[in-house]
Amino acid sequence: MDPLGISAESCSSFARGGELLGGRGGRGVDGIGDRVDRFRPDAFAATLADVDRTALWSAGIRGIVLDLDNTCCAYHQPELAPGVAAWVRAARAEGFAMVLLSNNFAERVAAVAAQLDVPAVPNALKPLPFGFLRAVRMLGTPRQATVVIGDQLFTDVLGAKVLGYRTVLTEPLVPVDFPLTRVLRFLERVIFARGAAKRE
């Protein structure tokens, strides 16, 4: 079941070109163009393990910013979700630079980053730009070669889009969230419902 009310789409969309890569100049789901594009992911994936690394590389992506809660680990859980460690290990072996970016506290973020053997930026205050900018400095990749992968539209996607990074929106691993995040999930469903209605 898709908790966002959308269909998961393969990240091969990165390699197809067209609007998903262009990102600007098209009309948004509300007819207001670029402002709505900030809420439009470049691609969808069910989980991090489903993201097609070959498609990312073919699209020129060399740096990956990863969200933590409900992307790499279930909310409030210390264990990595199935497939995450193997995906990150393979991505690093293939030449991707990676960093963990999270609004969570330093102790939890450091523990997960140690499991993945990647650097991390805790207390990021997403969608504000400061954490994203610090993470990308760690990666050393240019804006157009950087993708942010996460499960939240109003933190991961919005924060990345404002700075010009490409994005992959995953489904949350579990339906349990921080109370404020539950409010944002409702707003996400509203945005996707309006987009679906406009396409009909």
pLDDT above 50: residue 74: yes
Q: Is residue 149 part of a domain?
A: yes
Please give the pLDDT value at position 83.
Answer: 97
In whole numbers, what is the pLDDT of the chain averaged over residues? 80
Q: Is residue 189 part of a domain?
A: no
Domain that holds residue 78: 13-184
Please give the pLDDT value at position 198.
Answer: 54
Residue 144 DSSP code: G
User: Alpha-carbon torsion 65, 66, 68, 69, what sign?
Assistant: positive
For 42-61, write each residue's pLDDT tens digit: 999 999 999 999 999 999 99
- What's the rounded mean pLDDT across residues 110-139? 97
Q: Is residue 91 part of a domain?
A: yes
Cβ-Cβ contacts under 8 Å for 8 (sequence gap 6 or more): 2, 44, 45, 46, 50, 171
Q: Which of 11, 12, 22, 69 is nearest to 164 (CA)?
A: 22
- What's the rounded mean pLDDT across residues 67-75? 95
Q: Classify residue 26 as exposed, middle or buried by CB count within 10 Å of its CB (0-12, 13-18, 19+).
A: middle
Q: Is residue 190 part of a domain?
A: no
End-to-end CA distance of the chain: 22
Q: Is residue 196 part of a domain?
A: no
> Structurally, how many domains does the chain consist of?
1
**Helix, strand, coil percent content, the chain, rounded in steps of 5:** 45, 15, 40
Residue 146 forms beta bridges with which residues?
63
Q: Is residue 193 part of a domain?
A: no
pLDDT above 60: residue 27: no
Q: Which of 1-10, 62-71, 104-113, 140-149 has the lowest mean pLDDT?
A: 1-10
Please give the pLDDT value at position 106.
Answer: 97
CATH number at residue 110: 3.40.50.1000
Q: Is residue 200 part of a domain?
A: no
pLDDT above 50: residue 33: no
For 76-93, write each residue's pLDDT tens digit: 899 999 999 999 999 999
Classified as helix, coil or strand, 65 is strand
Q: Is residue 3 part of a domain?
A: no
Please give the pLDDT value at position 183.
Answer: 55
Cα–Cα distance measured from residue 153 to residue 189, given in angstroms and rounded to the nearest whole number: 10
